Amino acid sequence: MYPQRTRARARSRRRRRRWPLFLLVFAIALCALGASQLGFGQMHRLKTADLPDWVDQQIIPVNGAARRGETMRRVTDIAIHYVGNPGTSAQANRNYFAQPDTQVSAHFLIGLEGEVIQCIPLNEKSSATNDRNRDTISIEVCHPDDTGKFDDATMESLEALVAWLCETFSLDPDADVIRHYDVTGKICPKYYVENEDAWLAFRQNVSARIEEDKTASGETS
């Protein structure tokens, strides 16, 4: 009798030890499924998102380095750049991106008068943010002079565009809106690298705009 009881207790202990392992595997599987569904949802939104009517779509051709036609499967950040050519227009920079020997591009360009041009489809990678091209939406911004500071009309459109992107892709302006500088250390966008307070204020303005949009639509935060 005693050996049988011992064996039974041993089997019971082994079964109890298996439960934590099973629960761990189950939890990992659930996390993987959730991540997969999140990724699928983002891919769908990247492909089907309806742009605001103030965005001018001028998609550049698939031409090699500037637009490779590579699919972007998720978005984790919005990357802000400045064009680095004072006084140039959004249209001029878009036309530069479209040239066959150009190596760079961005999803959006914002001009000196606040015009917004889309150059790359949202579900494709741009050529702007180095190794973060795989998961960032890039915005190149025009500026009137060497300080790199954006004028009021440009800022208004930049805040509106970033707010729309954050709302569309469930991103947090305080955590998921970055500078090119934050990826590579490049002084870009110059004014926001050299003026950290202005950068923080910009992201706060985007957050405030999102809250205003929610209030206007009857949503609560």
Confidence of residue 46 (pLDDT cuts 50, 70, 90): confident
* Residue 193 belongs to some domain of the structure: yes
pLDDT at residue 217, rounded to an integer: 78
Task: Output the DSSP codes for 74-143.
Answer: ---EEEEEE-SSTT--HHHHHHHHTSTT-----SEEE-TTS-EEE-S-TTB--SSSGGGTTTEEEEEE--
Residues 39 and 67 in one domain: no
* Residue 179 belongs to some domain of the structure: yes
Residue range of the domain that includes 190: 55-216
pLDDT at residue 14, rounded to an integer: 56
Residues 101 and 17 in one domain: no
pLDDT digit string, tens, across residues 18-27: 556 656 665 6
Residues 131 and 109 in one domain: yes
Residues 35 and 78 in one domain: no
More confident residue, 134 or 37: 134
Residues 138 and 169 in one domain: yes
Q: Which residues pair with 178 in a beta bridge?
A: 79
Distance (Å, rounded) from C-alpha 119 to C-alpha 93? 10
Task: Output the DSSP codes for 94-106.
Answer: HHHHTSTT-----
pLDDT digit string, tens, across residues 105-149: 999 999 999 999 999 999 999 999 999 999 999 999 999 999 999
* Residue 221 belongs to some domain of the structure: no
* Residue 171 belongs to some domain of the structure: yes
pLDDT at residue 214, rounded to an integer: 86
Give φ, ψ of 155 to 5 degrees.
Answer: -60, -40
User: CB under 8 Å, gap of 24 or more: what pairs does 16-21 form?
Assistant: none
Residues 97 and 155 in one domain: yes
What's the CATH number where 77 sits?
Answer: 3.40.80.10
pLDDT digit string, tens, across residues 64-73: 899 999 999 9
Q: What is the pTM of this model?
A: 0.81
pLDDT digit string, tens, across residues 178-195: 999 999 999 999 999 999
DSSP 194: H
Residues 5 and 82 in one domain: no
Q: By three-state DSSP, how is residue 55 classified?
A: strand
pLDDT digit string, tens, across residues 166-176: 999 999 999 99
Mean pLDDT confidence for 91-104: 96
Residues 14 and 62 in one domain: no
pLDDT at residue 67, rounded to an integer: 97
C-alpha closest to that of 202 among 78, 84, 75: 78
* Residue 59 belongs to some domain of the structure: yes
Query: Which residues neighbour 110 within 8 Å (Cβ) at sequence distance 6 or greater?
Result: 90, 116, 117, 139, 140, 141, 142, 150, 154, 157, 158, 161
Residues 190 and 112 in one domain: yes
Q: How many domains does the chain have?
A: 2
Residues 127 and 164 in one domain: yes
* Residue 115 belongs to some domain of the structure: yes
pLDDT at residue 120, rounded to an integer: 98
Residues 78 and 157 in one domain: yes
CB of 161 closer than 8 Å to CB of 116: yes
More confident residue, 12 or 96: 96
Query: Which residues neighbour 212 within 8 Å (Cβ) at sequence distance 6 or greater?
Result: none
* Residue 201 belongs to some domain of the structure: yes
